[in-house]
Amino acid sequence: MIILHVFSVLNLQFSIMAFKGRENFGRVGAVLAAAGSAVGLGNIWRFPIETGRNGGAAFVLVYILCVIILGLPVMISEFLIGRSTQANTAAAYRKLSPDTQWKWVGRLGVLTGFLILSYYSVVAGWTVEYAGYALFNTFAGQHDYKVMFNDFAADPFWPVLWLFVFMFVTHVIIVRGVKSGIERVSKILMPTLFLLIMMLVFCSVTLPGSGAGIDFIIHPDFSKIDGMVVLSAMGQAFFSLSIGMGCLCTYASYFRPDTNITRSAINVASIDTMIAIMSGFIIFPAAASAGYTLTAGDVGPSLIFITLPHVFQQAFSGAPILAYIFAVMFYVLLILAALTSTISMHEVITAYLSEEFEMSRKKAARMVTSACAFLGIFCALSFGLLNGFHPMGKTIFDWFDFLSSTILLPFGGMLISLFAGWHLNKKLMYDELTNYGTIRIRYFKILVFILRFVAPIAIGFIFLNETGLFDIFR
């Protein structure tokens, strides 16, 4: 027994020795960076609106189940694939399975990240403009927030400029490297974000008349749960946890060999879920207090850029100064959340280019930034100059969104779980999860079962549903 233990520790020591030389995250930094990736615009606009559409508290419960049953296993797989290979996501699959086609899973992830980053940064850029509106109190004199937003989004100049600014800031952080760039920024931004969100929740739930909004998220109406609700919850869980494209795999390649993968995954998933639920506690009570019922029309960007400015002004109509502070905090929160997410997507591609094509990190980052900014221009302009151009009924922005988030992401997630469940050496998996026997895990069999059967089948359903290839749940 003791000899076995000595062996395990020696093994771990070996991998620590082999590990030296690559930049790495500290233990807290690892969780904060990964949580920074996960917490993003998806938590703040997508989660509340999915909750609104799918029956409130009941959806929240289904969502939590999806995070635990499907999200965590796939996240754990990405973590262990990244950490065991200490390489960019394309090389990771190649190293684990040389001479097979699995390397395409990694490459597909890089492509998906590239597409998501290009359009996500456009929306991230909008948040900068809106933080400016909030700061200069532009919302106060407005009557029609819809016109205000449409005018802005259609402008040929400002959305593109903010896109560039956002890409540039992301670029600067990436170039500074893993430790003094990504980790340091995550350690500053994540606590700030948490503080902001706590203050916003506090303000929102203490508003007069906010009770109906709170009720909506804490009293489940189970009659609302059907197949569609479950599918929406799964899709949302994947996007929100940043799984399916090698983002967490790349970050995990900077984890130290003694990082506890299970614990890190649980921490990241809990932080992400908590922040999503908290943004529900910002949005619904404020909306209830303003006497506003969120409808299906408040989907996506229109929720944060049209509905909420209106709701904030209404809710705090008795105290304009509070409306002002609330709006500033909210849009700053959005910027921070978006920034830690764009950084994580940028890193996937930068790590890939610099390692696979042996170029400096700086050069790789420059290529990623310019290419994404270039593609982003078309996404940004598709709300204005290019809005007449919609091949097959979708604007360029919608195509990027649809292709990456709806098609490639679930597809990537399915391939990752099939890879980890069926193909990956089980001893290697077990060793990674237990850090060569130095920590104990009890869920290994369940994990493999989920990765083999449950996750691929469930994701297959999301996929068919989102692409509209089948309608049996309607």
Backbone φ/ψ region at 10: left (φ over 0), alpha (ψ -120 to 50), beta: alpha
Closer residue to ligand TRP, CB minimum distance, 30 or 323: 30
**Alpha-carbon gap, residue 261 to 265, rounded angstroms:** 6
Q: CB count, 10 Å around CB of 334?
A: 27
Q: Which of residues 171-230 bind ligand TRP (CB under 6 A)?
A: none
Q: Which of residues 328-367 bind ligand TRP (CB under 6 A)?
A: 341, 344-345
Choose, by CB under 6 A, the member of 240, 259, 260, 417 that binds ligand TRP.
Answer: 240
Task: Considering only CA atoms, give the Rg of the chain.
Answer: 22
* In the complex, minimum distance from the CB of residue 141 to ligand TRP, in angstroms, rounded to a whole number: 31
* Residue 239 is a binding residue for ligand TRP (CB under 6 A): yes
* Residue 232 is a binding residue for ligand TRP (CB under 6 A): no
Choose, by CB under 6 A, the member of 15, 24, 37, 118 that binds ligand TRP.
Answer: 37
* Residue 127 is a binding residue for ligand TRP (CB under 6 A): no
* 162: CB partners within 8 A, 6+ apart: 125, 126, 128, 129
Closer residue to ligand TRP, CB minimum distance, 235 or 257: 235
* Residue 245 is a binding residue for ligand TRP (CB under 6 A): yes
* Residue 375 is a binding residue for ligand TRP (CB under 6 A): no
Count of residues interacting with ligand TRP (CB under 6 A): 17
Choose, by CB under 6 A, the member of 29, 36, 42, 421 that binds ligand TRP.
Answer: 42
The interface region with ligand TRP, picked from 37-45, 303-311, 376-384, 437-445 by CB under 6 A, is: 37-45
The interface region with ligand TRP, picked from 157-165, 239-247, 306-314, 326-334 by CB under 6 A, is: 239-247
* Residue 410 is a binding residue for ligand TRP (CB under 6 A): no
The tokens describing 264, both together, are 């890190």
Closer residue to ligand TRP, CB minimum distance, 242 or 307: 242
For residues 424 to 463, the per-residue mask of contacts with ligand TRP, x marking binding by CB under 6 A and - elsewhere, is ----------------------------------------
Instruction: Supply angle C-alpha 418, 81, 90, rounded to 5.
Output: 85
Q: Which of residues 60-79 bind ligand TRP (CB under 6 A)?
A: none
Closer residue to ligand TRP, CB minimum distance, 40 or 125: 40
**Alpha-carbon gap, residue 101 to 97, rounded angstroms:** 8
**Alpha-carbon gap, residue 404 to 119, rounded angstroms:** 10
Instruction: Supply angle C-alpha 430, 88, 109, rounded to 5.
Output: 95
Closer residue to ligand TRP, CB minimum distance, 92 or 203: 92
The interface region with ligand TRP, picked from 35-43, 203-211, 351-359, 377-385 by CB under 6 A, is: 35-43
* In the complex, minimum distance from the CB of residue 19 to ligand TRP, in angstroms, rounded to a whole number: 25
CB under 8 Å, gap of 24 or more: what pairs does 149-154 form? 149/302, 149/305, 149/306, 150/383, 152/126, 153/126, 153/383, 153/384, 154/383, 154/384, 154/385, 154/387
**Alpha-carbon gap, residue 282 to 290, rounded angstroms:** 12
The tokens describing 235, both together, are 């899709």
DSSP state of 442: S
Closer residue to ligand TRP, CB minimum distance, 47 or 461: 47
* In the complex, minimum distance from the CB of residue 276 to ligand TRP, in angstroms, rounded to a whole number: 8
The tokens describing 464, both together, are 């068919």
**Alpha-carbon gap, residue 276 to 236, rounded angstroms:** 11
Closer residue to ligand TRP, CB minimum distance, 242 or 465: 242
Quick one: CA torsion of 384, 388, 391, 393, rounded to 10 degrees?
A: 90
* Residue 252 is a binding residue for ligand TRP (CB under 6 A): no
For residues 77 to 116, the per-residue mask of contacts with ligand TRP, x marking binding by CB under 6 A and - elsewhere, is ---------------------------------------x
**Alpha-carbon gap, residue 127 to 133, rounded angstroms:** 10
The tokens describing 155, both together, are 């402008």
Closer residue to ligand TRP, CB minimum distance, 345 or 418: 345
* Residue 242 is a binding residue for ligand TRP (CB under 6 A): yes
Closer residue to ligand TRP, CB minimum distance, 257 or 412: 412
* In the complex, minimum distance from the CB of residue 135 to ligand TRP, in angstroms, rounded to a whole number: 23
**Alpha-carbon gap, residue 76 to 417, rounded angstroms:** 10
Give, to the nearest 10 degrees, the angle between helix 261-289 and helix 227-240.
120
Closer residue to ligand TRP, CB minimum distance, 341 or 435: 341
* Residue 43 is a binding residue for ligand TRP (CB under 6 A): yes
Closer residue to ligand TRP, CB minimum distance, 88 or 240: 240
**Alpha-carbon gap, residue 88 to 82, rounded angstroms:** 8
**Alpha-carbon gap, residue 258 to 212, rounded angstroms:** 47
**Alpha-carbon gap, residue 144 to 142, rounded angstroms:** 6
Choose, by CB under 6 A, the member of 70, 234, 409, 414 that binds ligand TRP.
Answer: 409
Q: CB count, 10 Å around CB of 325?
A: 17
**Alpha-carbon gap, residue 368 to 160, rounded angstroms:** 17
* Residue 244 is a binding residue for ligand TRP (CB under 6 A): yes
Residues found near ligand TRP in the complex (CB under 6 A): 37-38, 40-43, 116, 239-240, 242, 244-245, 247, 341, 344-345, 409
